[in-house]
Structure 1
Amino acid sequence: MKIQTKITLHFLALSTAILLLLNAFILYFESQFNYKDFFKRLEARVNITADIRLFPNEKTKAYQEVRNRYLEKLDTEKEQLIQSDSSGKFTNPGLPPAFFNDVVANGNAEFKKDNQFFAGKIVDHGADKYMVVVSAQNPYGLQEIQDLQEVLLYGFIGSLIIVFFVGKGFSYYTFAPVRKLNDKVNTITSSNLHMRLENTGRDEIAELSQTFNNMLNRLETAFETQNNFVSNASHELRTPLTIINSEVELALNNAALQGEERIVLATIQSETNKLIQILNSLLMLAQSGYDGKKQNWQKTRIDELIWTAIESVKKVHPQSNIGVDFEALPADEDLLNVNGNSNLLNLAITNIISNSCKYSQNQLVTVKLTVENKKVIVSITDLGIGIPSTELQHIFEPFFRASNTHQYKGHGVGLPLALNIIRLHKGSIGIRSEVNIGTEIQLFLPSASA
């Protein structure tokens, strides 16, 4: 998930929490206000009921008239006047026990059960005590709270939609410099390492740009060093070896040379040739992984390249047994084309087929060509010694050789070289192997039509 998306979601989650908390506070305080207001209305009726029914006088009629004229009749409103017994105790006529006990203990109380509200107090009338209770329902207050809940719900949903798009726009705007930096970095390759990122401002993006520029400085230095080595190593290293090899060969042509001296010179010639092969492989490995410039790149038919590679292998291994499986070729021949350097691709395929022939002791090696999802797949399968499962992860490391290959000649640079070449062509390599069963290596290359 992109950081920009994460920020949007975090912003949305934080806003959701804040809105929920705000709505909860609004609903809670509105409910409390609504209940308190209704209890005040009930208390007023309790006082009026007590004056009218316990202390009748010339004002009683006026109280009654004010009540009828100005106080609305509450829903299911009910008045109760409960007289204590001779000992001053009250008998509960069916009121909620918690409310009744509270009135008896404190002299007055308020109580709510569902949407039924109660208010009451104890009034002294001479030697007698009376409990005056008024109860009623508050459907309008309940409806008001329900309406408020509905308004808050729709407001909450609408606010979340607005917050989401605002957060999305905010994160997009915030990460605009990062996207610009990313686009600029993507344009820098090994062929234009001299380019640098713009470094303006004093924020974190400027620090990141400077870090990239410092890294590019180090990379440019490293690439220049490698380029100089690749350019000069051929002359500086090959020339002495060639001279040594020529001198040894000249000495061996001397018929008078006999015995141990000839054996020593033959050994020197063999080891010199081996050193020249290693040097050539190293130079090719360095060149294939250097810069990725598309020099002399063109459309190349992989099926034709396979035949060329097989021909090259047979020159080195005349006894090799190579089978070709082209039964799954697509009807559209253009799908067999890949963009690349034909010489390098030929080298990679040749190395893998050659390894398969060598390590299978000239048993059947099958080369299969298929196209799937606009990817050209070359499968090379042998019936050889296989590779131990614990060593599969190391076979693409330069100079690494599996523990069961000591009796075979090699330097451990063929597969790393092939991997560099395939990666250079935006492809990949897959491998399956089992000891004493065989090995299958698959090369995946993007079709030129992709």
Structure 2
Amino acid sequence: MTMTDTPSQQVALPAVPDRHPRTKGPGARLGSRVPARWRIAAWILLTTALTLLAVMLTMRSLLLNGAQTQAHQDITQELQEFRAFAAEGVDPTTAKPFSSIEKMLEIFLSRQSAAQGEVIVGSVGQRTLYTPTGALSSQTGGHDLPRDQALMDSIRTGNASSGIARTSEGEMHWVRLPVVSGSETGHLIVGTYMGPREDQVAGTVLTIFFVSLGGLAVTAGIAWLVAGQILSPVREVRRVAEDISENDLTARVPVRGNDDISALAVTFNTMLDRLESAYRTQRAFVDDASHELRTPITVIRGHLELMEDDEADRARTLTLVDDELARMGRIVSDLLLLAKVDRPGFAQPRRTDAATLLLDIEAKAQVLGPRGWPILEIAEGSVTVDAQRITQAVLQLATNACQYSPEDSTVSLGSRFEGEGSSRRFTLWVSDHGRGVEEDEAARIFGRFHRGHAAQEADRARPGAGLGLAIVRSIAEAHHGTAWVRSTQGNGATFGITVPSPVFDGDPATNGDHVTSGDHVTSSDPVTSGDHVTSSDPVTSGDADAAAVDGSVTKRLDQLKEHHK
């Protein structure tokens, strides 16, 4: 029997994304230890050094080519001078034609002055004629072409009329010009040593090298300073990040200029703003929850600890516990709503018909109680708001009005436009006949957990959390508006919200007629005269989707007008 091993099955676990990829690997760790300022300066210095090296090599090549060109030009010039001298053919010492090639070469050479690295030699047969030896030695650096018999023989007898010979002084470029007169033949040899010229090029390149070193030193200093200036905002970001603690998120990076680094600082500050807002919202939520939930939890715990075995007592305790749990649920919902206020998208404004909005609110308010709910004034036109949030806010005001006013009193509603053009505002309000709001309470009544005297005295068996008006204010501020209260002590109060509402094309030319009595906010009775509602006709704009009032709204408006006649 043959046994075979079966490889065990392995379960491949999903790869965990690396959140810090730059910290892996020795190369990355080594790179991270080099400060960014050093790296920037080093790259600038390296780039400059490579550029200077390329310039030096290019310059050397150009100078060497120039030296060779100049050498060829010098040789050509000497040959042209000899041709002109030979064409004249007159011995300046006798004013007669030259008697021989040797004589012509001697006279010509005696009148020449060899340049640096240049040698001029005449040759007739095996005889060599040249400029004085001292001059030759000083001009050629030591090599004496006429005495270099081997080189002279190769030049005289060679087939080439020009070439490059290697000597102890480096390369020598030479040209041989034949001179013939009858049966007599001679040669004029002009040579140029490249060694001295190359030494001049080397000296020039060396000078450029030392100047480049000085330039590199200056570049290094400038690169160090510039890198420091560039990275200054980054160091500021690091300093601010180090200063930030869980209890202090107020530090910000100073923004200077409009470049990319400044954009980084702005982005970092924006991130800190979001973090601070989120942290502040989280802390406020935790503080508010711990503050407000402590009481119902204490009540529930106390009653459960004191609950007896009696069936009636148990039922009463469970009812109370259920009420407290329901109140805790409402508190948590309100706190969550307040925590979402600062988030993007809390309010999603859309173009809405103002009359339809108020009529919908009036219809929903009917379930809060038999308060008549008269509409004292109504605005007609288009407004850009989040209809659901605005409805929530006004219904909260209506709920408060029902709770803190006599049960047989009416609660009135109304809306209006104020101002014109781009400064137009839209206002919704709720008016009751309760005890009103004292003047010292009006400034803080929209704060969290604040409960006015009327709220504290009303329905002590089921006290509220004091978050309703805070929610109203938050919704108004989310629309860039305000929440307000106007009241006369003992004569009721009017709560409302006002939001910006620029005029749309196609809206009625007028803002509609409003209540003209002394103070609409203290009006208590339903509308009973034509003085109160003289609103304009329904919107007839061509924009049927956004501004036109549908048939049911038009019918309701007509009913209101008929009722007030």
TM range (shorter): 0.3 to 0.5
Greater fraction of residues in helix: 1
Normalised TM-score (structure 2): 0.35
Normalised TM-score (structure 1): 0.44
- Name the structure, 1 or 2, with higher relative contact order (CA <8 Å, separation 6+): 1
Rg (Cα) greater in structure: 2
